[in-house]
Structure 1
Amino acid sequence: MNHCHLLDIEFEYSEQKQTITPVLLQDEKDVILVDCGYPDFVPLLEQAVIGCGLRLDSITKLIVTHHDMDHIGPLAALKRAFPRIETIAHEVEAPYIAGTKKSLRVEQAESTLDVLPEDAKPQAEQFIRFLQSIEPAAVDRTVADRERLPWCGGIEIVHTPGHMPGHISLYLPESRTLIAGDAVVIEQGKLDIANPQFTLDLEEAVRSVRRLLDYDVERLICYHGGWFQGDAKQALLQLVHEYTS
Structure 2
Amino acid sequence: MNIGTQILILEVPMESFFGKTTIYPVLLKDQDGLTLIDTGMLGQLEPLRKAIADAGEDINRLKRIILTHQDIDHIGNVHALLDLLPNTALLAHKDDVPYMTGERPFVKLTPERINLMDIALKQQAEDMIRRLPDLRFAHILEDGEHLPYGGGVQIIHTPGHTPGHISLYVPAQKLLLAADELRVVEGELVGPAESATPDMPLALKSLDKLTVLDAEKVLCYHGGFYDRNVQARLQALSQERG
TM-score for the superposition, normalised by structure 1: 0.87
Describe how 1:28-107 pairs up with structure 2 within 5 A: 28-107=31-110
User: Which of residues 179, 192, 195 in structure 1 aligns to 2:193?
Assistant: 195
Describe how 1:73-222 pairs up with structure 2 within 5 A: 73-107=76-110, 110=112, 123=116, 131-135=125-129, 136=132, 137-222=135-220
Root-mean-square deviation (Å): 2.3
Cα offsets for 1:166-216 (capped at 9, x unmatched): 000111111111111001111111122222123121111111111101111
CA distance in 1, matches of 2:108, 2:17: 18
- Any stretches of 5+ residues in structure 1 without a counterpart? 114-120
Conservation of the 8 A alpha-carbon contact between 2:42 and 2:124? no
SS in 1 for 2:180: coil
* Deviation, structure 1 residue 26: 0.6
CA distance in 2, matches of 1:122, 1:94: 24
Pair 122,219 (structure 1): closer, same or farther in 2 beyond 3 Å: closer
Report runs of 4+ in structure 1 exceeding 6 Å deviation: 124-130
User: Which of residues 27, 30, 35 in structure 1 aligns to 2:30?
Assistant: 27
The structure whose Rg is larger is 1
Partner of 2:7: 4
SS in 1 for 2:40: coil
Q: Percent identity?
A: 31
CA distance in 1, matches of 2:39, 2:198: 22
CA distance in 2, matches of 1:149, 1:229: 24
- Any stretches of 5+ residues in structure 2 without a counterpart? none
TM-score for the superposition, normalised by structure 2: 0.88
Return the structure number with greater strand share.
2
SS in 2 for 1:170: strand
Conservation of the 8 A alpha-carbon contact between 1:189 and 1:229? no
Aligned residues: 234
SS in 1 for 2:155: strand
CA distance in 2, matches of 1:131, 1:224: 21
Which one-letter code corresponds to 1:123 in the other structure?
Answer: L
Conservation of the 8 A alpha-carbon contact between 1:65 and 1:89? yes
CA distance in 1, matches of 2:187, 2:223: 8
Moved more, 94-103 or 162-171: 94-103
Pair 14,216 (structure 1): closer, same or farther in 2 beyond 3 Å: same
* Deviation, structure 1 residue 103: 0.9
